[in-house]
Amino acid sequence: MTDALSESYEEVLYPSYLHVQTQPDRLATMAAFYGMQPAPVEKCRVLELGCSDGSNLIPYAFHLPESEFIGIDLAARSVAIGQKRIEALGLKNVQLRVFDVMDVDESFGQFDYIVAHGLFSWVPPEVREKILDICRRNLSPQGVAHVSYNAYPGCHFRDMTREMMLFHVRNVTDPQERIVQAIALIKFLSESFAETDLYRMFIKNELESLLERRQEQIFHDDLEQFNQPYYFHQFIEKAAAHDLQFLS
């Protein structure tokens, strides 16, 4: 992954949350519905790519003490926060590593569940290919991967405001000032049209959506260099090129 992207996430920590759709028992249930024989969640191996401070991984490790959880992320500050939580909880079945996705290989072994949430669309093209390659090489034969991405056609609306914000802050380097100026632009646009103008209604809706997000999310999700949405068929074609099959 590029040094600039790594430094960006070191400078401004991305807020981390628990994502219920990535729970091993949920993935196992969906797999069973579609005829697979997934590993029992009570004793499985889970890898999370882009684990941040472990907010998504640590709760699973706490409730599944016989399973093994590994998370990797380039943001050393975030990983350090997660490691302190692990130590405080006395967990022995989870580890977070400062590690580049591009360096994951067969030495990691196989995993029953691989999670890449909020990562795929926000990294360079070669890293996206590597994520899918990891899913192919490091998944067990009945393994399940959860990969989220920004999706078209909905993201066309978001692309429009993102491009305007990026142009507006193109010469601004301070993270906080980039956020402030980006929001100020959308506010200005939302107030620049007649009350009944459909374009104004759209811009106002985007502004309200922006204001609901944390500033760190705006900085990374909307003002970073990479934010590549895909149509569903495009993502499935990329996955199929790595011998991966769509599950659900």
Confidence band of 72 (pLDDT split at 50, 70, 90): very high
Confidence band of 108 (pLDDT split at 50, 70, 90): very high
What distance in Å separates the CA atoms of residue 235 and residue 238, rounded to the nearest whole number?
5
**Of 62-66, 134-138, 145-149, 215-219, the least confident:** 215-219
pLDDT of 82 higher than 70: yes
Residue range 4-32: average pLDDT?
82
Q: Three-class SS of residue 191? A: coil
194 or 185: which carries more pLDDT confidence? 185
Residue range 79-89: average pLDDT?
97
Could you tell me the sign of the dihedral formed by the alpha carbons of 2, 229, 138, 108, in that order?
Answer: positive
pLDDT of 2 higher than 60: no
Query: Which two three-digit tokens encode residue 161?
Result: 């405001």
Identify whether the C-beta of residue 77 lies closer than 8 Å to the C-beta of residue 7. no
Confidence band of 31 (pLDDT split at 50, 70, 90): very high
Across all residues in the chain, what is the average pLDDT? 91
pLDDT of 1 higher than 70: no
106 or 193: which carries more pLDDT confidence? 106
Q: What is the pLDDT of residue 6?
A: 61
Q: What is the pLDDT of residue 3?
A: 62
**Of 30-39, 101-110, 166-175, 193-202, the least confident:** 193-202
**Tens of pLDDT, residues 125-154:** 999 999 999 999 999 999 999 999 999 998
- Interhelix angle for 3-11 vs 76-89, to 10°? 50
What distance in Å separates the CA atoms of residue 226 and residue 123, rounded to the nearest whole number?
6
Place of tokens 């049209």: 193
Burial of 193 (0-12, 13-18, 19+ CB in 10 A): middle
Confidence band of 26 (pLDDT split at 50, 70, 90): very high
Residue range 93-105: average pLDDT?
97
76, 71, 119, 221: which is closest to 161 by C-alpha? 221
